[in-house]
C-alpha cells in the first residue's frame, strides 16, 4: 500500500470473499454482479449508496458481507421497498442501471474524460536537468517510476543474495522428507546409469 501511494500508482486486487479486516484496508471497491458494474467508489460510501436504493445493513453483518449479499437472492431480505425508488429487489441489470444514473458514475465519467496530468505510457518523460550535469536526466527507468520512489524499496546485491539463501534454507528445513527423498532418488538414478 505504501509503495502504491508513494509511486502514485493504483493496485487492483480481486477478492472472492474478503474478511472484514481485509476489506477495511482498501480505499475503494468495485462490485460486479453477473458481469455488470453495480458500484465503484469509496468503501466508506458503499453502505450509504445501497441505503439510497432501499437496502439496509443488518446489525449482525459486516460491510464486506453486506455488499456481497446485496445482488444475491439473500439481498431481498435487506430490501425495504418504502425507502427505495424501486418497488422490488433489484436484479443485476437494474443495479447496473441505477449505478449508471448515479452521481458517482457521472463523476467517474467526468474524471476519465478529463486530460491526464502526466503521460503514464512512458512515451513522454519530463526532463529534469541537474545543475552539475547539463545533460537531461529523466531519473526514470524503463517502467516509468522515478528512482526517488524506487530507492527506499531497493536492496543491495549482497542483501538480496542473503535473503534468497535464507528463504531457500528455510524452505529446505520445512520439507526435509522431500529433500531426503529427492537425494535418494538422484543417487539411485546415478547408480543405474553407471
Task: Return per-residue pLDDT of the chain as tens, 194 residues.
Answer: 566 666 777 777 787 778 888 888 888 899 999 999 999 999 999 999 999 999 999 988 889 889 889 999 988 999 988 888 888 999 999 999 999 999 999 998 998 888 876 655 555 444 444 444 444 444 444 556 666 666 666 788 898 899 999 988 887 788 888 878 888 888 888 776 65
pLDDT at res. 125: 47
Range of the domain at 34: 2-113
pLDDT in tens, 120-152: 555 544 444 444 444 444 444 455 666 666 666
Number of domains forming the structure of the chain: 2
Q: What cell does 88 get?
A: 422490488
Please indicate, yes or no, if residue 49 is contained in any of the structural domains.
yes
Same domain, 85 and 177: no
Same domain, 20 and 73: yes
Please indicate, yes or no, if residue 26 is contained in any of the structural domains.
yes
In angstroms, rounded to a whole number, what is the distance separating the alpha carbons of residues 46 and 79? 15
In angstroms, rounded to a whole number, what is the distance separating the alpha carbons of residues 91 and 34? 9
Please indicate, yes or no, if residue 138 is contained in any of the structural domains.
no
Q: What are phi and psi of 29, to 5 degrees?
A: -135, 145
Which alpha helices (H) appear in the chain, and where do they start and end? 2-7, 20-23, 43-52, 63-69, 92-100, 103-113, 147-150, 157-174, 176-193
Please indicate, yes or no, if residue 150 is contained in any of the structural domains.
no
In angstroms, rounded to a whole number, what is the distance separating the alpha carbons of residues 90 and 73? 10
Domain boundary among 78, 113, 148: 113
Please indicate, yes or no, if residue 148 is contained in any of the structural domains.
no
**Of 156, 139, 135, whose CA–CA distance to 147 is shortest?**
139
Please indicate, yes or no, if residue 134 is contained in any of the structural domains.
no
Domain boundary among 61, 96, 113: 113
pLDDT at res. 48: 93
pTM more than 0.85: no
Amino acid at each position: 500500500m505504501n509503495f502504491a501511494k508513494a509511486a502514485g500508482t493504483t493496485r487492483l486486487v480481486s477478492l472472492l470473499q474478503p474478511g472484514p479486516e481485509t476489506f477495511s484496508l482498501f480505499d475503494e471497491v468495485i462490485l460486479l454482479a453477473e458481469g455488470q458494474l453495480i458500484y465503484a467508489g469509496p468503501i466508506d460510501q458503499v453502505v450509504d449508496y445501497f441505503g439510497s436504493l432501499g437496502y439496509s445493513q443488518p446489525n449482525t453483518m459486516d460491510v464486506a458481507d453486506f455488499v456481497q449479499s446485496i445482488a444475491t437472492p439473500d439481498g431481498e431480505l435487506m430490501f425495504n421497498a418504502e425507502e427505495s425508488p424501486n418497488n422490488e429487489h433489484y436484479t443485476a441489470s437494474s443495479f447496473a442501471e441505477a449505478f449508471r444514473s448515479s452521481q458517482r458514475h457521472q463523476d467517474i465519467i467526468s474524471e476519465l474524460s478529463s486530460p491526464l496530468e502526466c503521460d503514464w505510457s512512458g512515451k513522454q518523460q519530463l526532463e529534469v536537468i541537474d545543475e552539475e550535469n547539463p545533460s537531461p536526466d529523466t531519473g526514470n527507468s524503463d517502467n516509468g517510476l522515478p528512482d526517488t520512489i524506487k530507492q527506499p524499496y531497493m536492496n543491495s546485491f549482497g542483501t538480496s543474495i542473503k535473503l534468497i539463501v535464507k528463504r531457500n534454507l528455510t524452505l529446505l528445513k520445512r520439507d526435509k522428507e522431500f529433500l531426503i527423498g529427492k537425494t535418494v532418488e538422484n543417487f539411485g538414478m546415478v547408480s543405474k546409469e553407471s
